Amino acid sequence: MTQWRLLCAVLAAGLAAGAAAEPASVPDRPVEYAADGRERVDLELVLAVDVSSSIDEVEARRQREGHVAALADPDVIAAIQSGGYGRIAVMYLEWADADFQRVVAPWTVIETQADARAFAAALAIAPFVSGRRTAIGAAIDNAVSLIDTNRFDGVRQVVDLSGDGPQNAGPSLAAARSRAESRLITVNGLPIDNSRQHPFRPSVSIDVSAYFENQVIAGPGAFISPTNLHDDFVDALKRKLIIEIAGLAPDTLTRNG
């Protein structure tokens, strides 16, 4: 068994045991539906995660583990349950090249900690597959399509896009941002300060945070939350998720906690 599979198996077992040992309270609000039959939620959220060649297996695992920890955090669950419908729909997309757009965990409704743990367990056991180049425009276009074709009617729609470098392949990033904005879909950024060096991957010489702020984020209330995979990734994710879930202004929670 590879190190990745072993770690995923251990994480999944721990999540399942935690769900059984600590049942979460279930909100008593009934599920509501739009006139076209779609399920109403406070937020439709695509977690779009970079797995191009600049992200190695260790870093991809840390991104997944960070999302696992953040989604099941009591503060995040409280933010979800405080919404008008008390529930959100989330899915996890890994992306690289224009033709590498991989759904790792499908659309899932989260309203309790047990829901978050079930989603996290599915995420933890999925195998790691890496792409090559960085097609941010394709990732945004695919995320918008996944929102358009799901079974949910969200008050807000957000694409939460992480990455550690600029676009170097795929369709126009500017056009993809415009398409998202025309649909009133917000694209937020999680630029990663990636200090790990690898002999077979190109180094990134730009200011990734500035690049994401100026050329990636788009739509109503869009913001970036810079992070380092090694130090503050889970905290950055928690802050970002709470802002997105609660529909807060980006400066409500500071980037430094």
Strand partners, 157: 44
pLDDT of residue 14: 43
pLDDT tens track for 135-165: 999 999 999 999 999 999 999 999 999 998 9
Residue with the two structure tokens 């060096």: 197
Segment 229-235 mean pLDDT: 77
Q: How far is CA 181 from the centre of its chain?
A: 18
pLDDT of residue 59: 81
Q: Which of 51-55, 88-92, 145-149 has the lowest mean pLDDT?
A: 51-55
Strand partners, 41: 154
CA distance 97 to 55: 13
Confidence of residue 56 (pLDDT cuts 50, 70, 90): confident
**Could you tell me which residue, 30 or 25, shows the higher pLDDT?**
30
Segment 1-19 mean pLDDT: 41
Contact 43, 109 (CB under 8 A): no
Rounded to 5 degrees, what are φ and ψ at 155?
Answer: -60, -40
Q: Is the pLDDT of residue 192 over 50?
A: yes
Q: Is the pLDDT of residue 53 over 90?
A: no
Other Cβ atoms closer than 10 A to 92: 27
pLDDT of residue 203: 56
pLDDT of residue 87: 96
| Maximum Cα–Cα distance across the chain | 55
Other Cβ atoms closer than 10 A to 97: 18
CA distance 54 to 200: 9
pLDDT of residue 247: 86
Q: Where are the beta strands (DSSP E) in the chain?
A: 39-50, 88-95, 101-110, 152-163, 186-191
Q: Is the pLDDT of residue 116 over 50?
A: yes
Other Cβ atoms closer than 10 A to 8: 22
What is the spatial order of strands in the sheet that 101-110 belongs to?
101-110, 88-95, 39-50, 152-163, 186-191
Residue with the two structure tokens 């509501």: 32
Q: Is the pLDDT of residue 237 over 80?
A: yes
Contact 250, 242 (CB under 8 A): no
CATH number for the segment(s) 40-246: 3.40.50.410
Residue % of the chain over a pLDDT of 90: 58
**Could you tell me which residue, 155 or 249, shows the higher pLDDT?**
155
Q: Which of 20-29, 139-148, 199-208, 230-239 has the lowest mean pLDDT?
A: 20-29
